[in-house]
Amino acid sequence: MYVNGHEREDVVEYRRRFISRWKQYECRFHTWDDDGNEFPVPGRHFQLIPVTHDESTFYQNDERTMMWAHKSDKAIPRPKGDGQSIMVSDFLTSEWGCLHDKDG
């Protein structure tokens, strides 16, 4: 997710070129309707399969800082900083789902 800079001139120009290229390739993608019926690539010798990438980072100390508490509860010291993190990442396709190697 972009937090800052997503409207910078170079970023906007990159997105414009990306969308233009995507539209050129889109005619080679299989499509599906809302009922799951497939519409293969018409009259093409080959199809393109888009591969998307998604990732998230989870931090050790990533928790809500506000909560309901009883008036007799004592404050609990919290560690400084985000703590250790783990990144979860995956590549996805409409044809095969999550990509994995032969062992996974």
Is residue 75 in a domain?
no
**pLDDT, tens only, 9-22:** 998 999 999 999 99
The answer to whether residues 57 and 99 belong to one domain is yes
9 in the same domain as 39: yes
Number of domains present in the structure of the chain: 2
Question: Taking 80 as the threshold, does the pLDDT of residue 59 lie above it?
Answer: yes
Question: Range with the lowest mean pLDDT among 16-20, 42-46, 68-72, 88-92?
Answer: 42-46
How far apart CA 10 and CA 35 sit, in angstroms, is: 39
Tokens of 47: 């199809």
Q: What is the pLDDT of residue 104?
A: 63
Cα–Cα distance measured from residue 26 to residue 3, given in angstroms and rounded to the nearest whole number: 29
Q: Is residue 9 part of a domain?
A: yes
* Parent domain of 34: 1-45
Query: Which pTM does this prediction carry?
Result: 0.54
Is residue 72 in some structural domain?
no
Maximum Cα–Cα distance across the chain: 73
Whole-number Å distance between alpha carbons of 6 and 56: 18
Residues 6+ apart with CB under 8 A from 85: 57, 58, 59, 60
Q: Are residues 53 and 88 in the same domain?
A: yes
Query: In the predicted model, is pLDDT for residue 1 greater than 50?
Result: no
* Span 9-37, average pLDDT: 91
Domain assignment present for 68: no
